[in-house]
Amino acid sequence: MRQLVNRSIQPVELGLVGAEQVARLDKERTHKGKTKPTQMWLATSRDAQVLPPLDLLNARRSEWGIENGLHHVLDVSGDEDRRVKVRTPNSLAVLTLLDRLSVALFKHSRQARESYYDWREQHKARCDWLLQLLRTAPAKVKW
């Protein structure tokens, strides 16, 4: 069960610049056979006429596409949490950018059913191939 209660607000009410709508998403979560109610609070810069409740629910649900499409690849297949150890914020920013670029290249050039880990191991010493791939404009973006 999912239920959304929303209302229009003024940004000053919430303390968020640009906030136009606030919503409470009530849902039930089942974990290990036990079901419990949960609440999630949402805020958006779109008012209820532009983003009605059903569209807001769909937008919230579609956020998981990002999690499953990028972060899962980086965290699980790329082992980013364990592998990336840096001392400065600048180093972290550069390595994060390179990791995301690597995932984009993987999605563009992988073979069917090839894992990110296998792809990375196979291509990590092929800098010339990766640079050529970066220079090539895609005919049709599929990712």
Query: Do 85 and 114 fall into the same domain?
Result: yes
Whether the pLDDT of residue 20 is over 90: the answer is yes
**Which residues are within 8 A (CB) of 116 and not within 5 positions of it... i.e. 6 or more apart?**
73, 77, 78, 103, 106, 110
> Across all residues in the chain, what is the average pLDDT?
82
Report which listed range, 29-38, 69-78, 103-112, 118-127, is most confident.
29-38
Which position has the higher pLDDT, 70 or 89? 89
Q: Per the domain annotation, does 120 fall within a domain? A: yes
Which residue range(s) make up the domain with 14? 1-51
Mark whether 129 and 78 lie in a shared domain.
yes
| 80 and 140 within one domain | yes
Would you state the structure tokens that stand for residue 140, as one six-digit string?
């049709």
Give 101 or 40, the one with higher predicted confidence: 40
Average pLDDT over residues 90-104: 82
